[in-house]
Amino acid sequence: MIPYQNPTASLYRALVRKKKLVSEPDFLLDLELEEILEKSYPIIIRKVAEYTEAYNAWYKFHADVERSGKQGQLNSAEQQTLLDLINTKDRIRKELLEL
């Protein structure tokens, strides 16, 4: 199974670094990073939540496929669902990094 990785922390760190809000974001807790972003860029917090939702939907789909033993055997509708989930996740991530 694909190990679950919460995307929020790494996105917060990357965005704080990109916006040059602090010099050493690697030494801050996730909550501290969120607070820094919330003060300076509240829209980023909303977009990270949107991305996390899309990521979780993509992850759940993979977990369900693995649980059902259908890896590599998706029908056309399932393949389209997977592509839609990937495209949504990637689009939101791109939008987020362009903020």
pLDDT mean over 63-77: 93
Burial of 49 (0-12, 13-18, 19+ CB in 10 A): exposed
The model's pLDDT over 5-49, given as tens digits with 9 standing for 90+, comes to 788 878 888 888 888 888 888 888 888 988 999 999 899 999 999
Q: Which residues of 10-31 are buried (b: 16+ CB within 10 A; e: fewer)?
A: ebbeebbeeeeeeeebeebeee
pLDDT mean over 46-62: 94
pLDDT mean over 64-90: 95
Q: CA 95 from chain center: how many Å?
A: 12
For the entire predicted model, the pTM comes to 0.80
Q: What is the pLDDT of residue 67?
A: 92
Q: How many residues belong to the chain?
A: 99
| pLDDT beyond 70 at 1 | no
Q: What is the pLDDT of residue 54?
A: 96
What do you get for the CA distance between the two ends of the chain, in Å?
A: 33
| pLDDT beyond 90 at 91 | yes
Residue 86's closest CA among 52, 57, 45? Answer: 57
